[in-house]
Structure 1
């Protein structure tokens, strides 16, 4: 049981390190962070594969037929090598796709609030405000994607740093 706890902590510390480094890189320089983040994701997936290989080796030593860690390792290594070409192909489309998704979600949110108003006697002003903000951000991403994408990257970076800190606190609490 102690071995499994140690493996769990290895995954957790790898995740904390990844989240903190990715968030810091994005916050410091969101314009030039893409390649660094891709390298970081690739290293994370490689580290995940190494830990999974170690898990598989330990299971093999205990005469287990469980091959799940080996499959995880192979998939992680394949993704680590494919991350660069796939990301560079899809990145130019990201602001447009995200803008369209936010626009559709905002319109859907508005009509859901409007139809719920018929069944409830209150006016859902916060839902309307939220839907208009989604529509505004969606249009902004579609027609001015690069400035908004930089802003979203900074918010993403702050969120990743926050997740790393919360994960670290949870590691200390559930030691």
Structure 2
């Protein structure tokens, strides 16, 4: 059980690092951050693949038939290689896609905060506030994609940094 807990923390720290770096890059230069973010996403996917390969290796040592980590590793590597050609084709749809992703993420964040409240007797106001911000940004991008792109990238940068900080705090709270 301790091994799985450590693996979970590896995934969480990789996510925190990715969110913080992506947020800083986007916040500093939103107009020219696409290639840097694509490289960062590729590095994140490779890191995810390495952690998944390590999980698979640990499971293989216990003679488990679970091949899920290996499938995750292969899919992550393939996505890391295909991200550049796919991203440049999908770039015109980026504001709308990001709006939908933010909307879904905001709704999930809100309901996760409500579920976590059952286990911890504290009202997660910061999680509620953050999820509402994500929902508003998502709706704005879906319905007004092109006028909001630059502002959205700056807010996305701030949001990613905020999400990294919240992940860090949650890492400390939910040991």
* Same fold flag (TM > 0.5): yes
3-state secondary structure, aligned to 1:52: helix
3-state secondary structure, aligned to 2:63: coil
What is the root-mean-square deviation of aligned Cα atoms in Å? 2.3
- Per the TM alignment, residue 2 of structure 1 is displaced from its structure 2 partner at its CA by 1.2
- Per the TM alignment, residue 137 of structure 1 is displaced from its structure 2 partner at its CA by 7.9
Paired residues for 1:112-151 under 5 Å: 138-139=143-144, 141=145, 145=146, 148-151=148-151
- Measured in 1, the distance between the counterparts of 2:140 and 2:11 equals 38
Unaligned runs of 5+ in 2: 101-138
- Measured in 2, the distance between the counterparts of 1:156 and 1:167 equals 16
CA 1:55 to 1:148, structure 2 compared with 1: closer, same or farther past 3 Å?
same
Q: Give the length in aligned residue pairs.
A: 137
Unaligned runs of 5+ in 1: 102-133
Runs of 4+ that moved beyond 4 A: 134-137
Contact 2:14 2:47 in 1 (8 A): yes
CA 1:10 to 1:32, structure 2 compared with 1: closer, same or farther past 3 Å?
same
Q: Which residue of 2 aligns with 1:30?
A: 30
- Per the TM alignment, residue 174 of structure 1 is displaced from its structure 2 partner at its CA by 1.7
Rg larger for: 1
Paired residues for 1:90-101 under 5 Å: 90-95=90-95, 97=96
- Per the TM alignment, residue 136 of structure 1 is displaced from its structure 2 partner at its CA by 10
CA 1:136 to 1:80, structure 2 compared with 1: closer, same or farther past 3 Å?
closer
CA 1:32 to 1:5, structure 2 compared with 1: closer, same or farther past 3 Å?
same
2:153 is equivalent to residue 153 of structure 1: yes
